Amino acid sequence: MKIGIFGGGQLGRMMALAAYPFNLSFSFYESAANCPSAPLGEVIGDKEASKASLDAFLASADVFTYEFENIPVAWVEHIAQHKPVYPSVKSLAVSQNRLNEKQLFAKLGIPAAAYHQVCSQADLQQAVDTLGLPLVVKTTMGGYDGKGQFVIRQAEQVAQAWSELQAGAPLIAEAFIQFNRELSIIAVRAQDGETRCYPLAWNTHHQGILSHSVVPAPQVDAATQAQAEQYITAILHELNHVGVLTLEMFQTDQGLYANETAPRVHNSGHWSIEGAICSQFENHMRAVAGLPLGSTQELRPSAMINIIGQHPKTSDILAIPEAHLHLYGKTERVGRKLGHITVTADCLDTLNTRIQQIAAVLPNKMAL
């Protein structure tokens, strides 16, 4: 079986690496020939997404998936008219638009920030008047790693927020959630509707980019894990989703609030390569290929630490017990995700010690 993957970044690379032992082969729809996935299969595509390139991609594989959601629905629809695409076009259309996501949360009774749709500066002013300050303004589509966002803290900032983001309109203005920390849950749904959930991850961001995740999130009670599982399972079934889906949430004194979904494997699940019985990448490929799902159970407490901007010395990382290095074959650039490190331990204390050992040898000394 050959699997065609929209996107050729590190997520596609790790999907292919996970399914390579099953003798599956891969093609990637990606305009950059030297992308992180290139060593794993055929790279097809051009920036304009010409019909010829989409047809060549269609011919290149039996089943299709995607590794990032900021692709035009029309490209995926073109493929879906002829061959299976998992997750479905519906999953993609909902997850790539924050308004659709919010409507989905409301329909399923999942708590989320109150919001207003914003199409003009007057709408934004009205959102400030009704939702209060601070107010988080976001583009409905295309934002990632904190890009396409503005937090209005003072009433005088309305015009500035509008002028900075109006090119991305329609916008969404959200009430500011006073959260204690950010958690995410990742789950997988098979073609027959079976679902399995990974333990909650505790995610810490630095300058809008995920810096590290700890799994299972410390001090999570069984009720919180169960609540998160209920939310994500409801979303998976509602979308008839096949493959991995991620739900990012805020933990507050009033419980969990949904922030956004990703219809794909997620950075906060990279720990699962070494930390779980079956990784998010392998489970996604199993679902897409129509194979039985693997166990999502964690093996040991794990942390995932992103390598951002500059590479560490490989030998420094590998000298740390239970540390595993994953590099994506990218060149260095400020703010760019170049790789990640997974580290495991038999208890949280030892895990924290190892996280600090890793922090000490990362070139751009992140506060971990």
Looking only at residues 286 through 325 of this chain, which bind ligand AMP when binding is defined by CB under 6 A? none
Given 67, 69, 174, 274, the residue binding ligand AMP (CB under 6 A) = 174
Smallest distance, ligand AMP to C-beta of residue 309, A: 19
Smallest separation, CB 185 to ligand AMP (Å): 14
Residue 214: enclosing H or E segment and its boundaries? Answer: strand 209-215
Closest approach of ligand AMP to the CB of residue 305, in Å: 17
Name the one residue in this structure whose structure tokens are 């329909």. Answer: 107
Q: How far is the CB of 324 from ligand AMP (least distance, A)?
A: 26
Q: CA-CA distance, 72 to 96, in Å (whole number)?
A: 9
**One residue of 93, 108, 176, 234 binding ligand AMP per CB under 6 A:** 176
- Subset of 260-279 contacting ligand AMP (CB under 6 A): 260
Site for ligand AMP in 236-265 (CB under 6 A): 248, 259-260
Q: How far is the CB of 177 from ligand AMP (least distance, A)?
A: 4
Q: Cβ of residue 28: shortest distance to ligand AMP, in angstroms?
A: 25
Q: How far is the CB of 136 from ligand AMP (least distance, A)?
A: 4
d(CA 300, CA 120) in angstroms, rounded, equals: 50
Which listed range, 49-57, 163-171, 176-184, 358-366, lies at the site for ligand AMP (CB under 6 A)?
176-184
Q: Tell how many helices (H) and how many strands (E) occur in the chain.
A: 12, 17
Closest CB to ligand AMP among residues 248, 282: 248
Task: Please give the biggest Cα pair distance in the chain.
Answer: 59
Q: How far is the CB of 275 from ligand AMP (least distance, A)?
A: 22
Binding mask 204-233 for ligand AMP (x = CB under 6 A): -x----------------------------
Show the site string, 178-207: x = touches ligand AMP by CB under 6 A, - = not: ----x----------------------x--
Taking the least distance from each CB to ligand AMP, the nearer of 20 and 257 is: 257
Verify binding: residue 113, ligand AMP, rule CB under 6 A: yes
Closest to 89 measured CA to CA, from 99, 334, 100 = 100
Q: Which is nearer to ligand AMP, 247 or 343 (CB)?
A: 247
* DSSP states of 110-153: --B--EEEESSHHHHHHHHHHH-SSEEEEESSS--TT-SEEEE-
Interface mask toward ligand AMP for 130-149; x: CB under 6 A: ------x------x--x---
* CA-to-CA separations, 61 to 18, 43, 57, 79, 318, in angstroms, rounded: 18, 12, 7, 10, 37
Based on CB atoms, which residue is closest to ligand AMP, 174 or 282?
174
Residues pairing with 243 in the sheet = 189
Among 285, 291, 292, 243, CA closest to 61: 285
Cβ atoms of residues 125 and 108 within 8 Å: no
Q: List, in order, residues 6 or more apart from 24 with CB less than 8 Å away.
A: 1, 2, 3, 285, 289
The token duo for 239 is 């979308």
Q: Could you say which DSSP state residue 331 is in?
A: -
Which residues in the 52-71 window bind ligand AMP by CB under 6 A? none
Closest alpha carbon to 205 in 324, 306, 344: 306
Footprint of ligand AMP on this chain (CB under 6 A)?
113, 136, 143, 146, 174, 176-177, 182, 205, 248, 259-260
